[in-house]
């Protein structure tokens, strides 16, 4: 078998944050929920050690993260490695709705 989705998650335990980066899904596997399933699995794995999930999203990809429950912290867009990005966050606390 081959990997179809990968992600990096770095824990900042003193500040109770988990920072996602380098989330990628093979182009032929996009739109099949693999990325969202991977994000969910990683979040669940570290949820008891953090209060917040954070990431820097390419602006054109922020819709994917919004579907995963993330939101931009402001309207500020910044350049990172020559591409527009926004800072996004999601609470690690599960909703009780």
pLDDT tens for 24-80 read: 999 999 999 999 999 999 999 999 999 999 999 999 999 999 999 999 998 889 999
- 19: β partners: 10, 54
Q: Does 97 map to a domain?
A: no
Q: Which residue has the tokens 């794995």?
A: 45
pLDDT band at 87 (very low <50, low <70, confident <90, very high): very high
Look at residue 97 and tell me whether its pLDDT is greater than 80: no
**pLDDT: is 97 or 61 the higher one?**
61
Count of domains observed in the chain? 1
- Give the domain range for residue 39: 5-91
Q: Does 40 map to a domain?
A: yes
Q: Does 24 map to a domain?
A: yes
Look at residue 92 and tell me whether its pLDDT is greater than 80: yes
Looking up residue 47, the CATH number of its domain turns out to be: 3.40.630.30
Q: Does 96 map to a domain?
A: no
Give the strand pairing for 52-58 and 5-12: unpaired
């Amino acid at each position: 078998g081959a990997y179809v989705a990968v992600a990096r998650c770095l824990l900042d335990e003193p500040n109770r944050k988990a920072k996602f980066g380098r989330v990628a899904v093979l182009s032929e596997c996009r739109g099949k929920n693999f990325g969202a399933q991977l994000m969910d699995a990683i979040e669940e794995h570290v949820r008891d050690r953090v209060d917040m999930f954070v990431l820097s999203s390419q602006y054109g990809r922020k819709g994917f993260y919004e579907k995963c429950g993330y939101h931009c912290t402001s309207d500020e867009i910044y350049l990172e490695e020559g591409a527009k990005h926004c800072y996004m966050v999601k609470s690690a606390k599960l909703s009780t709705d």
